[in-house]
Structure 1
Amino acid sequence: MACTLDLYTDYLISSTGQTSATGLSRLFDGQLSHDQVTRWLSSVYLDSRQVWAHAKPLVRRAEQALEAADFAVLVVDDSILEKAHTDPNALLCTHYDHSLGRYVKGLNFVSLRYVAGSLSVPIAVELVEKTQAVTDPKTQKVSQKSPLTKNEMLRAMLRVVQQQVAYRYLLADSWYASAENMNQVRELGHDFIFALPTSRTAARSEVARGNGEFQALDTLVFPEGQPLRVWLRGVAEAVLVVRQVFTNKDGSQGVL
């Protein structure tokens, strides 16, 4: 009996407790040894090519099922699979978790998800590996960093999937709402829907942009229920910005 990707992922998905090569071997009453599992894990490097190979048949079926007025979107986000008790290395190391507001040790990855109709499936993934040593000039403390930023990983993935899938919008939170990302999405012939921090600066007209007259988004007056056409700093084309005010569970108000 051999360890395969389908077998191993089914084991991970169905497990409710801690997973291990020994645990998988025990599940099959020793027909699959833990050494076989360990050797397979050491020999296989999973990347976007393997992800796309599994996703492609699903995507093609979803494309055929789309009505003429329907369209697909891509969603980018990054996640951390926490591994607090694993020995650190370039792949399993400390990353800042924005949801927790602190650093955690684990596996950090950026994924690109295809959504069309009832289908939602990842089509590309990039692992964050901190392989470059960086010395703080003030403290002389040495830390590790990835040779590529998450935004650079996203732009590389978008250039590849341009040849693989058709989509109308790229959706992302404010972490990925950089001018470089916006410009690339438009250059590739697509649109985007991004969250923006209120401190992001914009000009109210092309003339104002040319004169360098930018102001923070939270200082702009938005018409009720209507988008505002502005020029964000560094973005080639004008964009529509919508301001949404909502009430949190505790009664406080938030602004998106």
Structure 2
Amino acid sequence: MWGVIFELARTCTLDLHTDYLISSTGQTSATGLSRLLGGAVSHDQVTRWLSSSYLDSAQVWAAAKPVIRQAERQRPAAEFAVLLVDDSILEKAHTDPSALICTHYDHRKGRFVKGLNFVSLRYQAGELSLPIAVELIEKTEAVVDPKTQKTSAKSKFTKNEYLRAMLRVAQQHVRYRYLLADSWYASAENLNTVLELGHDFVLALASSRTVTLRDKGRKNGQFQALDAPLFPDEQPLHVWLSSVQPAVLVARQIFLNKDGSQGVL
């Protein structure tokens, strides 16, 4: 099938490489793509194309724009879009380390892993869901630990700084109602940026986050941990965060785990 579809292929392209990655069920490589095409594209051509192509948010948006514009024209009046931010790690345990392929903390595994870390901003409206921006985490800044005197590397920008930059660019491209994210992105600076841009948010909050039940309590510095107030049954609670001007609505969900224990979000 591949030989028929790509019998005229002589160079590696984004569509060709993407189709190869999507259809592959095992390990992928430049040699594997070349072999699949019967040598029509050499593995050196694939390697050169990968080395010369730097995909950034501008290219991601260029691919997403026509799809989103068509969907906007067909969207029912009552339907709205949301943006979702998340970061992921593509593990590369056996790849030589570099500014891109380096160690990152994996919260899901609770340990450091070697791989490619990236922050993506995804647009979703109804059944349509696709990325509109992405930032690769490159650790290019040398940092010396004052205690151990060991040198490590860090990114020039934090993931939260990348998010705020992506949101400001997205403001020029798409209409949406909410930003959805986990607690990692629930900083006051992020929330204020979303509000300043004219949108709302739905985010998870750490139970240790401090809040007050009255606006005047914020002025007096009377804060308590988020898990301290008594929540009305199945009803949200108005609270004030220390550095976010309007009150926010917090809902608490209790989950029953398989072992019978409870989890609280």
Give the TM bin, normalised by the shorter chain.
over 0.9
How many residues align structurally?
A: 256
* Paired position in structure 1 for 2:52: 43
TM-superposed CA distance for 1:36, in Å, is 0.5
Amino acid at match of 2:133: A
Instruction: State whether structure 2 residue 82 is matched by structure 1 residue 73.
Output: yes
Cα distance, 1:136 vs. partner? Answer: 0.1
Q: Distance in 2 between matches of 1:176 and 1:100?
A: 19
Specify which of 138, 149, 173 is matched with residue 147 of structure 2: 138
1:53 alignment partner in structure 2: 62
Per the alignment, residue 18 of structure 1 pairs with 27
Distance 1:122 1:38 in 2: 25
Give the SS at the match of 1:112.
strand
Give 1:144-155 correspondences, 5 Å limit: 144-155=153-164
Task: Show the 5 A alignment for 1:169-188.
Answer: 169-188=178-197
Instruction: Please state if 1:108 is matched with 2:117.
Output: yes
C-alpha distance in structure 2 between counterparts of 1:104 and 1:33, whole Å: 32
Cα distance in 2 for residues equivalent to 1:153 and 1:22? 35
The SS at the match of 1:11 is helix
Q: Which residue of 2 aligns with 1:33?
A: 42
1:70, CA displacement in angstroms?
1.1
Determine if contact 1:111/1:124 at 8 Å carries over to the other structure.
yes
* 2:178 is equivalent to residue 164 of structure 1: no
Q: CA deviation at 1:14?
A: 0.7
Shift of 1:250: 2.1
Contact 1:227 1:243 in 2 (8 A): yes
Q: Unaligned regions of 5+ residues in structure 1, if any?
A: none
Alignment partner of 2:98: what SS? coil
Q: Distance in 2 between matches of 1:67 and 1:39?
A: 45
* Partner Cα distance (1:250, 1:57) in 2: 48
Equivalent pair of 1:3/1:32 in contact (CA under 8 Å):
yes
Is contact 1:110-1:126 (8 Å) kept? yes
Structure 2 residues without counterparts, runs of 5 or longer: 1-9
Q: TM-score, normalised by structure 2?
A: 0.95
CA distance in 1, matches of 2:116, 2:242: 33
Percent identity, please: 74
Q: Distance in 2 between matches of 1:104 and 1:203?
A: 38
Q: Is the 8 A contact 1:174 1:197 kept in 2?
A: yes
Answering whether residue 91 of structure 2 is matched by residue 82 of structure 1, we say yes
Q: CA deviation at 1:39?
A: 0.6
State the 4+ residue runs in structure 1 displaced beyond 3 angstroms.
none
